[in-house]
Structure formats: structure tokens, C-alpha cells
Amino acid sequence: MAEESKMERGLLVQPLLEGSGNSNNNEEDMMSTAGKSSSPVEATSAAVIFSTFVAVCGSFSYGCALSYSSPAESGIMEDLHLSIASYSMFGSVMEVGGMIGALFCGRLTAVLGRKYTMWLSQVFSTIGWLAIALAKNDWWLVTGRLSIGFGVGFVTYVVPIYVAEIAPKEHRGSFSYASQLLVNCGFSLVYFLGNVVSWRTLAILALVPGAFQLVGLPFIPESPRWLAGVGRVKEFKASLQQLRSKNADISQEVEEIQDSVDESKDDPKARVGDILQRKYAYALTVGLGLMLLQQLGGTSGVAYYGSSVIQKAGFSTTVGTIIISLVQVPIAAVGLFLMDICGRRLLLMVSAGGMSICSFLVALSFVLQGLNLLRGITPIMAIIGLTGYFTAFSIGMAGIPWIIMAEIFPMNVKALAGTLVTLVNWSSSWVMTYSFNFMMQWSPAATFFILATTCALTVVFTMKLVPETKGRTLEDIHKSMMRLD
């Protein structure tokens, strides 16, 4: 097996050397080839950019689904005569769909591949948006939202995995964070358009990003790491060559990926109990911890019911949602450029710290409002706090946990571990979205004090446990995580 693997790598390198004229130790040509392979500009080919764009159209669709329930709340409740409990069910049932999707996403991605899983996600999402747009009662709404949940449950796992596996290591963080940039675009667009179009029209518009992805998927390559893992060696090399550009020397990257695949094949086929082994404990702790803290920090609840929070604070819902929507995209763009400069750990700590401070500010505004103090200032305090909360979230906590999840698990357990981590994210998201309205009825101030405390704990968790993965190959990250058992 090892000899065959070496022969395959030799066959790949040979034609690259023959193109230089004299294949017999021509040092100048070898230096030239090495120079090409190390160039970040050439490594980031048009194929990587286009493939990433098509993949993150799914993230755009997720962003639309994430924010839809907030601007649509008043229109749906009025037209279909829903109670708070019924609307909370509608808002949170997407998380139930996400949980069900999470149970199958790892296995589907491993068996069908990354591309076909993305295609399947958009089929579910399209059905869901059409059901909502045509809804006659709350059951249509719930069924549609549940179907969207299936789709985005796949998206939140497969898109970060695919982008991390196709991007060159020098820019993997930035390319992976493009997913969060597009989530913010979808979030902001729906928040903004919700003020000017009906909830049915908004559901139809939310179909568009998924349609772009469905059209683009046939034109992008499959993940080379997945192809290598399933033994399709010829397609694996062709895919990697396409992604790195026609003239790039991919021999070293081929060898690293093939070595990693060979090592994973030496292990028995992963079962559920295998991911609980001590050697995976560190990676699992980091992955599960970040996903749990991301959701318990209140992000889904505040996003889904932001309009009602703004209304309770005494600020204009229309103006408030427009302000929040306008800051999301530029801030996510800043995070994209900082990702491979500052690294994951620093951005995570800054993000969680900012969310904690801003949650505290919102809580303080509700305390003062309850005491009838500074009535003219408390609405402004609340909208500043909410805008700052979403801003801080966008720059780190929104996307980095998914990026790290895609980076830290080796190929042989990635499907199982990714399924578990995604399931925990969606489960905790459901708890937050379903309970958030009831928590706000109980005490808005206490709700945001709890969120502030959770975000502060996230800073400590990141400082103590989360590794820096910037500028490292996936194979190197996997080995380092395994050594820390």
C-alpha cells in the first residue's frame, strides 16, 4: 500500500518536471517551480474564489432564515392571528429542523460528498420558503420553517468544511470567514427589506441566494480531501490542480493530504464511542465548548426577536432594525481581513468581551427604565448596546467557532465529531430561541445580565483552551491536537 502511494505521487511529480525541458536535476527550473507553489497570489486561484462564492451562497440563505422571524413577527401575528406561544414555536422550530439535519449532516457529507450535500440543503430550504410564502395557517408556517431548518442544518456544517478543505493555508481563515460575511449579508438584507415588503414577499426574496447556489454547484470541483478519503485518487489530484491553478506545483500538498488519509485509514472505521477516546478529548472539548457558549450567549434569541427587544426598550423598531442591519456587513468584512492577521483566538476574545459589555449596557438600560430614571436616555443606551452586541458578534463569535470546528477534527472522525458539535449548536440554539420571549417577559434586565455573564465566561474559555490555528495546515493542526491528550 505504501509503495503504491509513493508511485502515485511520483507519477504526479514527473510530468511537472518534464515540462522544464531537462528533467534530470535542473536546479533553476526546480527553483522556479517551487517559487510558483509558494506564491500566495497564485495559490489563491480564480477557481478557489468562485468555488468559495458558490458555497457561501448557502450561508447567505442561512442569514436570511436567521433574521426572518424578527421583521416578519408583527405581520404574521396580525394576519394569521398567532399568540406569542405559537409564534415562539414558529421561530424556534427551525432549530428542531437544524437538530435533525445535524444528526445526518456528517454522514451525508461523508457519503455523498460536500457538493451534493449543499445541493440537498437548498432543496429543503426552497420547499420551506415556498410553504411560508403560501401559508394559510400556523401549520404551514411551522412545516416550512422546519424544512428550512433541515437545509440550514446541513449548511452550517458542510459550508465551513468545504471552504476549509479547498482554501490554501495562507488564506484559509479569510476564505472560511467569507461564510460569516454572507450570513451577515443575508441577515442585514432581510432585516432591512422587512421594513418595506410584506412577510410573504420577504419569504420569496429569501429563495434567491439558494437559487444562485443550485445554479453554481455543477461548475465547482468537489473537495480534494474528500475525494482522497474515498479513494478517488485521480479526481483528487485533478480537483486540487484546478483549485491551485494549472501551473502550480501541488506535489507537496498532495503528499501531505495523502499521508493524512493513509494514517486515518490505519485506524478502524470510526464509531460513536470512538470520538470519546482520550486522544480526541481536547478537540471535542474545544468544539463543543465554543458551540455551546456561542448559543448560550443569546445570539439566536436576540437575532430572532430583535424587533420586540427594541420595542420594549422604547426605541423605534423601524429605525433600530435599519441601524443594526447597516453595521453587519462592513463589520463582517473587517473580520474577514483580520482573520489571517490577528488569528482566531484574539478575535474570539475581543468578540466575546464586546458582547459581554454590550449585553451589560442593554441590561442597565432596562434597569433604569424600570426605575423610571433617565427615560430620555435609556432607549438610546439600549440601541447602542444592541448594535454593539451584533457588531461584536459579527467580528468573531459568529463565524470562528464554525471555522475552528472545520479545522480541528481529523478525517477519520470528522463526520461523527462534526455531527455531534453541530447537534449541540442547534440544540442549544433551540433552547435559547424558544425560551427567549418568555425570559424577556420575566425580566429583560435579568435576561441580558445572564447573557453578559455567559459571554464573559467565553473569554475565559478561549484564553485557557482554544488553540491558534492561523497559518497552519489542517494536517499539522490535527497532529498537534492529538498530542495534547
**What's 272's DSSP letter?**
G
Over residues 335-342, mean pLDDT: 76
What is the spatial distance between Cα 121 and Cα 214, in angstroms, rounded to a whole number? 10
Residue 56: the pLDDT is: 93
Question: Does residue 38 carry a pLDDT above 70?
Answer: no
DSSP characters over 363-427: HHHHHHHHTT-STTTHHHHHHHHHHHHHHHIIIIITTHHHHHHHHHS-HHHHHHHHHHHHHHHHH
Residue 413 confidence class, pLDDT cut points 50, 70, 90: confident
Q: Which run of H or E residues covers position 221? A: none
Question: Does residue 7 carry a pLDDT above 60?
Answer: no
Per-position b or e across 418-439, b if 16+ CB within 10 A of its CB:
bbbbbbbbbbbbbbbbbebbeb
Question: Does residue 256 carry a pLDDT above 90?
Answer: no
Measured in whole angstroms, the distance separating CA 462 from the mean position of its chain's CA atoms is 18
Residue 235: the pLDDT is: 92
Residue 36: the pLDDT is: 43
CA dihedral defined by 390, 391, 394, 400, rounded to 10 degrees? -110
* Cα angle 184, 187, 193; round to 5: 130
pTM: 0.72
Question: Does residue 116 carry a pLDDT above 50?
Answer: yes
What is the spatial distance between Cα 456 and Cα 460, in angstroms, rounded to a whole number? 7
Residue 30: the pLDDT is: 37
Residue 289: the pLDDT is: 94
Contacts of range 438-445, beta carbons closer than 8 Å, 24 or more positions apart: 438/88, 439/301, 440/305, 440/308, 440/309, 440/312, 441/84, 444/309, 444/312, 444/313, 444/363, 444/366, 445/363, 445/364, 445/366, 445/367, 445/370
Cell numbers at residue 453, please? Answer: 455573564
What is the spatial distance between Cα 378 and Cα 147, in angstroms, rounded to a whole number? 39
What is the spatial distance between Cα 60 and Cα 66, in angstroms, rounded to a whole number? 10
Judge whether 450 and 140 are in contact, CB under 8 Å: no
Secondary structure (3-state) at 134 = coil
What is the spatial distance between Cα 394 and Cα 359, in angstroms, rounded to a whole number? 15
Residue 270: the pLDDT is: 58
Summarised one tens digit per residue, pLDDT across range 212-232 is: 999 999 999 999 989 998 888
Judge whether 149 and 98 are in contact, CB under 8 Å: yes
> Which of 364-373, 420-429, 457-466 has the weakest average pLDDT?
420-429
Mean residue pLDDT across the chain: 83
Using alpha carbons, list the distances in angstroms from residue 279 to 5, 462, 483, 484: 27, 20, 7, 8
- 208 contacts: CB under 8 Å, gap ≥ 6: none
Category of 372 on φ-ψ map: left (φ > 0), alpha (ψ -120 to 50) or beta: left
Q: Identify the CA nearest to 240 among candidates 415, 404, 9.
A: 9
Max Cα separation, the chain? 85
What is the spatial distance between Cα 366 and Cα 424, in angstroms, rounded to a whole number? 31
Question: Does residue 164 carry a pLDDT above 90?
Answer: no
Summarised one tens digit per residue, pLDDT across range 62-112 is: 999 988 988 888 889 888 888 878 887 888 889 889 889 888 888 888 889
Torsion over CA: 321, 323, 329, 333 (sign): negative
Most confident of 54-63, 274-283, 466-475: 54-63
**What's 222's DSSP letter?**
P
> Which of 10-14, 247-251, 433-437 has the weakest average pLDDT?
10-14
Category of 298 on φ-ψ map: left (φ > 0), alpha (ψ -120 to 50) or beta: left
